[in-house]
A and B are shown apart, each in its own frame.
Chain A
Amino acid sequence: MAGLELDNVTKIYRMRGKEPVLAVDRLDMAVGDGEIVGLLGSSGCGKTSTLRMIAGFEDATAGTIRLGERAIDRLPPARRNIAMAFEGYALYPPLRVRENIGFALLRGRHPRGEVERRVGQVAEMLEITDILDRYPPTISSGQQQRTSLARALIRDADLHLLDEPMSQLEPQLRAILRARIKDWLTGRRMTTVFVTHDQTEAVALADRIAVMEQGVLQQFGTPAELRDRPANLFVAGFIGEPPMNLYPAEIVADGGGPAIAVQSAAGAAAFRVPLPPADAAPALHERLTPGQQVHFGIRPHKVRLGTGDLSGTVLSNRWLGDQSHIGIDIGGCLLTAVTPDPVPGGADGTIAVDLPAAAINLFDAEDGRALFHGLQEAGP
C-alpha cells in the first residue's frame, strides 16, 4: 500500500488519418496512502484512460506517475504492483470463477490453503460463493463483474484500480456491496482509485472525489466540499440530486443598496437578493463591482419555504415519501426546492421563498469559476 501521485499527466491518442484525441489534460492528483478516491465524470471524459496510464497499458503522453517512493510510469505493468478490475471484466474464459479469483495469489506462491480461504472470504463478501465452480461464459454479466472485482480485491497490491466496479448490479445489491467493499478497503488500508458514473456510489465509497470533464480535472475534494464549495459551474451543476438551481445574474447597486439581480432564462429581471453593505463584507465588494455578470446558484435543499421576502407560484409539489420536491416559478425563474417535510398546498398557490445568504454561490459568468460560497470568498 502506498500513495499515488499524478503530476501533469496527459494522454493524447493519435490515430493515422484522424484528429488526435486529447483524452486526459494535464491531470494533477495526489491520493494518500490508504485513501479511496472516486473518479466521477460523464462518459468519454477520460476516466478509463487515466486508470490505464496508471496501470501501464497506455503510455502517458506527458507527465509522471509515482506510487509510494517509486516513479512507475516507465515500468511495465507487471512491475507496478497494481491490481485492477476491468470495465469489461476480462476474465480468463477457460478457468473457473474460483481459479480466476485466486489466480494471482497462486502464481505468487501463496500456499493453496490460504488461497482457498481468501477466495472463500472475498466470494462471500461479494455474494458469489454459489458460482465459484462455474466458468465465466456461463454466468451472468453481474456475476462476471463481481468475479472481476473479487480478482482485484483479493490481491495485496500497492494500489487497486476499479473501473466501474458495480455498473451491472441492481440497486439493492449495489447498496449492500458498497458498504461491504468500503469496509474491505478501509479494513486493509487499500489505496484505491475507482471509476463511476454514479454520484451516490462515489459519495458512499470515496474519501475524496475527483470530478473530470473532457479530460480536465474540475475539482478534487471530499463529498462535502463538492457539495458546499463547488469549484466551478460544471461541478455545481454536475454534483447533487436534484441539481443546483443556477441562473444568470448581474450585480447592481442602485436605490435599495447592493444586490444580485437574478434573470430568468428569457433574460428578464426575475428577482433580487440583497447583498450585505460594504463595511460588513469588504471582500465581497472588492471582488464584485456593479454591472458585473455572474451566475447565481443555490442548492434545492437550502431553499426555505413559507418564510422570506420573495414570493413565487408553485408549479408542482410532490411528496416522495421522505422528502418533498417543489417546483416554483419566481418571476420567470424555475426554482426547485427540497424540504424534509410535506409542504401544504398544491399547484398554482403562492408561496413565500427564502434564499439564505449563507447558501448562495456566485460564479464568474465568463470562465465559470466560483467566486463566493455563502458570501465567503471561494478558495483558489
Chain B
Amino acid sequence: MQHHRQSAIARAIRGVLLTLVGLFFLFPIFWVVLMSFQTNADILRTPPSLFFTPTLDNYVALITGQLDTAVGSLKISYMRNLWNSLVLSSASVALSLLLGIPAAYAFARYRFRLGENIAFTLLSFRFAPPLLVLLPLLLYFQDLGLYDTYIGLVWVYQLITLPLILWIVRGYFEDISPDIEHAYRVDGHGWLATFLKIAVPLARPGIAAAALLAFIFAWNNFVFALILGSSDVQPVTVGALAFITASGIQYGQIAAGLVLSMLPTLVLALLAQRYLVEGLSLGAVKG
C-alpha cells in the first residue's frame, strides 16, 4: 500500500516535471506562432500582450511575394526559398541514402584495408568548420559551372548528410546478426538479394531515423547556400535575411516564415515516427 501510494506521488511529480520541461521547450515555438499572426506594431509593443487582433497579412505577404514596408513595397521570394529548401534537402538525403546505405553495409560487414580510416574521415567532415573549405570551393564551383546550381549545392550538402547516414545506419547493420543473412544465402540467394531483402528491411528503423536527422540538418544549413548560390537556389534559412529591410526588421513575416518552414520537417517527423516505432516488426522480409 505504502509502495503504491509512493509510486502515485512519483507519477504525479513526473507528470508535473514533464509538463514544465515541455512548456519550457515549446514556449518559443508557441510565441513564434502567436507572432506570425501579429503586425510588427503589436509585436514591438511593450509590455508584450497576449491580446491582439489576429491578422493573416504576414502569410499573405509571404505567399504573394509582396512585402509592404513603411518606406515602400519590395519583392521577396520566400515561397521560392521554401521550394529550394525542399528540393535541396530531399535531393541531398536521397543521394546520401543511395550512397550511404551500401557504404554503411560494407563498413559494417567487411573489414578492409583503410576501412576504418575512410569511415572516420567521412565523420570528420562533421567537425570541420565549413567556412574553411567554402571559399576555395567557391572558386572551383565557378570554374566548373556548379555555382548557383542545385547539383552543386546537393553535392556540398553531402558533407552534412552522408556522414550522418553512414554512421547511424552502419550501427544498425552491425546489430543484425550476420547469420540471418547467411540463412537467407544458404536458402539460395545471392548477396545482392540478401542485402536488399534482409539487411535493408531489418535496418529500416535506423535508416528512417538517419534520414530524418539528415533532412533536418540539411534543412537548417545556412552557410553553404549563402556562399555557393544566389537567391534562385537559396533555401529559407538564407531567404529569411530578406526580412531585415532598410525600414527595420519584419518580425511578423519572419515568424510566419518560420512557421511555414517548420511544417515540412514536422510532417516528415510524424511520418517517420511510424517507421521508427515499427522497429523490427512486421513486413520487413516478405516476398
Contact = CB atoms under 8 A, between A and B. Distances in A.
A82, A83, A94, A108: residue with the most chain B Cβ atoms closer than 10 Å: A94
Interface stretch (A25-33, A37-45, A85-93, A324-332): A85-93
Nearest to B116: A16
Contacts, number: 73
Contact of B280 (A84, A87, A94): A94
Interface stretch (B20-28, B31-39, B79-87, B175-183): B175-183
B187 A94 contact: no
A95 B186 contact: no
Contacts of B202: 93-94
Interface string B167-202: 000000000011110111111111100000010011
Given A93-B280, A94-B286, A77 B180 contact: no
Contacts of A107: 187-189
A103 interface: yes
A80 B281 CA distance: 31
Interface in A124-161: 135, 137, 151
A282 interface: no
Nearest to A105: B187
B182 A84 contact: yes
Interface residues on A, range: 20 to 34
B182 A77 contact: yes
Interface string A2-40: 000000000000011000000000000000000000000
B48 interface: no
Interface in A44-99: 55-57, 76-84, 86-95
Contacts of A15: 111
A92 B186 contact: no
A83 B180 contact: no
Interface of B: 111, 177-180, 182-191, 198, 201-202, 280-286
A94 B188 contact: no
Contact of B177 (A57, A78, A88): A88
B198 A16 contact: no
Interface of A: 15-16, 55-57, 76-84, 86-95, 103-104, 107-108, 135, 137, 151
Nearest to A76: B190
A92 B179 contact: no
7 contacts: A78-B185, A79-B188, A80-B186, A90-B182, A94-B281, A94-B284, A95-B286
Contacts of B182: 55, 57, 77, 84, 86, 90
Contacts of A104: 187-188
B183, B189, B191: residue with the most chain A Cβ atoms closer than 10 Å: B183
A80 B189 CA distance: 11
A48 B189 CA distance: 22
Contacts of A81: 188
B190 A78 contact: yes
B177, B178, B187, B201: residue with the most chain A Cβ atoms closer than 10 Å: B187
A89 B189 CA distance: 18
A102 to B, nearest CB: 11
